[in-house]
């Protein structure tokens, strides 16, 4: 749920200071490093699922001993099941390479695609910057002291589901206000 009481200025500040990163980092998009990282993983699904799963877990465990592991893993490893992740304290949105490929993104797509695919994933993660957890952090990822008393009260006293439809709608509108300018800005800065 997104806070409708977060001032527009503060929302804009968070969105414009948000760091957008592509995962894995460019340094790891070298075939030698990728080959080294994935050397122990099963190459085909010829064996039963359980065997593939066990071998994948063993390969992941072996990768943990590699110097590459720390550089690639982020605090919430489980995000690998999604194409995008927003980290509150870093005010950072991470996107996997698969988010930039069809069917999530088509370079010649139309405006409707803003409401699905990559546009939807980006919006969903941007909303986390101003949801009930996100409003407690400023644009630099520090615990926010700038919330008004009224805003703090709304954030801490709202019961789940109470006014959620209005608040989520307000948050979506707030995020979409900045999308048309922030996506091209991030692309221009080679952040995506």
Q: 191: which strand partners?
A: none
Beta strands in 124-187 (DSSP E): none
89 is written with which tokens?
């304290």
Strand, helix or coil at 19?
strand
pLDDT tens for each residue of 125-154 = 777 887 777 877 888 878 876 556 665 555
Reported pTM? 0.48
Please give the Cα distance from 13 to 150 (Å, whole number): 20
pLDDT tens for each residue of 33-42 = 777 766 776 6
pLDDT tens for each residue of 42-98 = 665 566 777 777 877 787 777 777 766 655 554 444 444 467 778 888 888 887 776
Please give the Cα distance from 124 to 127 (Å, whole number): 5
Order of all β-strands in the sheet with 92-96: 19-23, 92-96, 84-87
Please give the Cα distance from 87 to 125 (Å, whole number): 9
Among 160, 140, 144, which Cα is nearest to 152's? 144
Mean pLDDT of the chain: 65
What residues does each domain of the chain span?
A: 1-18+83-192, 24-73
Q: What homologous superfamily is domain 1-18+83-192 in, according to CATH?
A: Collagenase (Catalytic Domain) (3.40.390.10)
Residue 35 burial (CB count, 10 A): 9
């Amino acid at each position: 749920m997104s806070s409708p009481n977060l001032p527009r200025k503060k929302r804009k500040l968070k969105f414009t200071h948000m760091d957008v990163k592509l995962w894995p980092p460019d340094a790891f998009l070298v075939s030698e490093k990728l080959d080294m990282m994935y050397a122990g993983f099963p190459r085909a699904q010829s064996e039963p699922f359980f065997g593939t799963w066990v071998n994948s877990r063993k390969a992941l465990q072996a990768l943990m001993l590699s110097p590459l592991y720390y550089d690639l893993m982020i605090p919430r490893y489980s995000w690998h099941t999604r194409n995008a992740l927003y980290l509150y304290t870093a005010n950072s949105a991470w996107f996997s390479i698969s988010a930039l490929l069809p069917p999530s993104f088509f370079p010649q797509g139309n405006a409707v695609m803003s409401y699905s695919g990559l546009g939807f994933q980006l919006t969903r993660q941007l909303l986390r910057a101003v949801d009930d957890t996100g409003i407690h952090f400023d644009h630099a990822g520090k615990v926010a002291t700038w919330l008004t008393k009224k805003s703090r009260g709304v954030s801490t006293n709202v019961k789940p589901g109470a006014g959620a439809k209005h608040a989520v709608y307000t948050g979506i509108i707030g995020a979409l206000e900045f999308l048309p300018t922030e996506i091209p800005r991030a692309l221009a800065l080679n952040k995506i």
